[in-house]
Chains A and B, each alone.
Chain A
Amino acid sequence: SQQGEEDPQALSIQEGENATMNCSYKTSINNLQWYRQNSGRGLVHLILIRSNEREKHSGRLRVTLDTSKKSSSLLITASRAADTASYFCATHQGAQKLVFGQGTRLTINP
Chain B
Amino acid sequence: KAGVTQTPRYLIKTRGQQVTLSCSPISGHRSVSWYQQTPGQGLQFLFEYFSETQRNKGNFPGRFSGRQFSNSRSEMNVSTLELGDSALYLCASSPEGQGAWGYTFGSGTRLTVV
Q: Assuming the A-B contacts A33-B99, A43-B90, are A96 and B33 also in contact, with contact meaning beta carbons closer than 8 angstroms in the complex?
A: yes
Contact bitstring B4-17, A, C-beta under 8 A = 1, else 0: 10100000000000
Contact bitstring B62-89, A, C-beta under 8 A = 1, else 0: 0000000000000000000000000010
A42 interfacial contact with B, CB 8 Å: yes
A95 interfacial contact with B, CB 8 Å: yes
Whether B42 pairs with A102 at a CB distance below 8 angstroms is: yes
Whether A92 pairs with B107 at a CB distance below 8 angstroms is: no
Q: Assuming the A-B contacts A40-B88, A96-B97, are A33 and B107 also in contact, with contact meaning beta carbons closer than 8 angstroms in the complex?
A: no
Whether B105 pairs with A97 at a CB distance below 8 angstroms is: no
Q: Please pick, from B37, B99, B104, the residue contacting A96 in the complex, using a CB distance under 8 A.
A: B99
Chain A residues contacting B99 (CB-CB under 8 Å) are: 30-31, 33, 92, 96, 98
Whether A97 pairs with B48 at a CB distance below 8 angstroms is: yes
Whether A42 pairs with B50 at a CB distance below 8 angstroms is: no
Complexed CA–CA distance, A31 and B99 (Å): 8
Q: Assuming the A-B contacts A31-B100, A33-B99, A92-B99, are A98 and B105 also in contact, with contact meaning beta carbons closer than 8 angstroms in the complex?
A: no
Size band of the A side of the interface? 20 to 34
Whether A42 pairs with B106 at a CB distance below 8 angstroms is: yes
Q: Which of B6, B43, B58, B90 has the most CB of A within 10 A?
A: B43
CB contacts under 8 Å to A, within B24-69, are 31, 33, 35, 37, 42-45, 48, 50, 55-56, 58
Given A33-B99, A45-B102, A100-B35, list of 15 further CB < 8 A pairs? A31-B100, A33-B103, A40-B37, A42-B6, A42-B108, A43-B90, A43-B92, A44-B105, A45-B103, A96-B33, A96-B48, A96-B97, A96-B99, A98-B99, A101-B42
CB contacts under 8 Å to B, within A18-59, are 30-31, 33, 35, 40-45, 48
Complexed CA–CA distance, A101 and B107 (Å): 19
B45 nearest CB neighbor, chain A only: A97
Q: Assuming the A-B contacts A33-B99, A45-B102, A48-B102, are A95 and B56 also in contact, with contact meaning beta carbons closer than 8 angstroms in the complex?
A: yes
A99 interfacial contact with B, CB 8 Å: yes
Whether B100 pairs with A42 at a CB distance below 8 angstroms is: no
